[in-house]
Amino acid sequence: MSRRNAEIKSVLLRDGEVQVRVLSIGCAVQSWHVAGVPVVLGYANAEDYLANPYVMGTVIGRVVNRITGSSFELDGETFPLSANIPPHQIHGGHGGLAWCNWETQVIDEKTVKFSYSSPHLDQGFPGNVQFEVTMQLSGYELSYQMLAVPDRLTPINMAQHNYFNLMGNGDIRDHSLRVSAGLYTPTDSQAFPLGSIESVENTAYDFRQSRLIGNADPERLGHDASFVLDTSDVKHPVVEAQAINGMKLQLWTDQPCVQLYTAGALGQFAEPASGAVHQRFAGFCLEAQNYPDALSNTHFPSILYGPDTPYEQNLRLAISPQ
């Protein structure tokens, strides 16, 4: 059950000069302050996350990103899904994990554990699935440990969806970005993968060497596609970003892809948490995940998991002043 009418829990994680406020709705990061600087976008009121059209700050599932045609076939059976961008699905459907109220267990002042039981045919997906997300703050680093245990074979592909702005407000196109990826998944005009995996060379997605986001996209079209990482490396950061104030972001992941979204469609929905204007290029998302739209592109690696092969994701994000 969604528990949408249950009380929304708010937990403040603290360590040194870092404070991260998280909510039980979608495991959302409502605010993240480093040395007093707000480094993510959010909404001032927790209740606004019940709608949250931009899945701001949340953990997304059961399947992040797009599913062409809002259906898939598994073992000879077709499963129609919730189509929230008809005729397609994005970010888990109308009532996906990002809009659900999770059970909350505060472990200590630096750690919180969220859990959610997703029933069979939730948003159309087969199987009962037990989800857990543990978030832990350690110094400048926030880690996510995601676990999903289904009782039958089913697709799962989760991601965090924070909108980062290391300046606290303004245009993120003056942030520099480096991504350890020589390949990416090109998309059509609606950001649906074309099914190919191509070189980033001479594209807007070539961030093998650090470059300004704005210089990579001079026409202001926006980024919204997945990098195929050179390696899924939990020891070395596969993504680094930096703002002109010296604030630096690093990302480590065990997932094969990271979707870069530079908020080309972001608009004002509710009162912002930090006073930042929510508009195009006000934030950027780095969504560590498995291959996008893998249910429609069956030559991509499988996103199917079962009782003996549970889903796991380990993600670390560090934001620190230089």
pLDDT in tens, 187-204: 999 999 999 999 999 999
Q: What percent of the chain has pLDDT over 90?
A: 95
pLDDT at 2: 43
Reported as a single tens digit per residue, the pLDDT across 10-26 is 999 999 999 999 999 99
Q: Does the pLDDT at position 179 exceed 50? A: yes
Instruction: Provide the token pair at 5.
Output: 């009418």
- Supply 178's token pair: 């480096």
**Is 200 within the bounds of a domain?**
no
Question: Which of the residue ranges 111-115, 213-217, 271-275 would you say has the lowest mean pLDDT?
Answer: 271-275
**Per-residue model confidence (pLDDT) at position 102:** 98
For residue 138, give the CATH number of its domain. 2.70.98.10
- Whether 232 maps to a domain, the answer reads no
Mean per-residue pLDDT, 260-284: 96
pLDDT at 289: 98
Q: Give how many domains the chain has, as a whole number.
A: 1
Kindly list the catalytic residues.
161, 287
Dig out the tokens for 107 from the structure: 């472990």
Examine residue 304 and state whether it is found in any structural domain, yes or no. yes
Residue 44 maps to a domain: yes
Asked whether the predicted pLDDT for residue 162 surpasses 50, the reply is: yes
pLDDT for 84 beyond 80: yes
Closest CA to 51 of 289, 266, 200, 269: 269
Nearest to 58 by CA among 31, 90, 25: 25
pLDDT range class, residue 5, cuts 50, 70, 90 = low
Say if residue 68's pLDDT is above 90.
Answer: yes
Flag whether 246 is in a domain: no
**What are 239's strand-pairing partners?**
179, 251
Inside any domain, residue 63 = yes
Q: Is 86 exposed, middle or buried (0-12, 13-18, 19+ CB in 10 A)?
A: exposed
Which pLDDT tens digit goes with each residue over 278-314? 999 999 999 999 999 999 999 999 999 999 999 999 9
Domain that holds residue 304: 10-173+261-320
Residue 91 lies in a domain: yes
Q: What pLDDT does residue 233 have?
A: 66
Q: Is the pLDDT of residue 112 over 90?
A: yes
Q: What is the pTM of this model?
A: 0.96
pLDDT mean over 216-235? 92
28 belongs to a structural domain: yes
Average pLDDT, the chain: 96
Q: What is the spatial distance between Cα 23 and Cα 49, in angstroms, rounded to a whole number?
A: 9
- CA distance linking residue 65 with residue 302, whole number of Å: 15
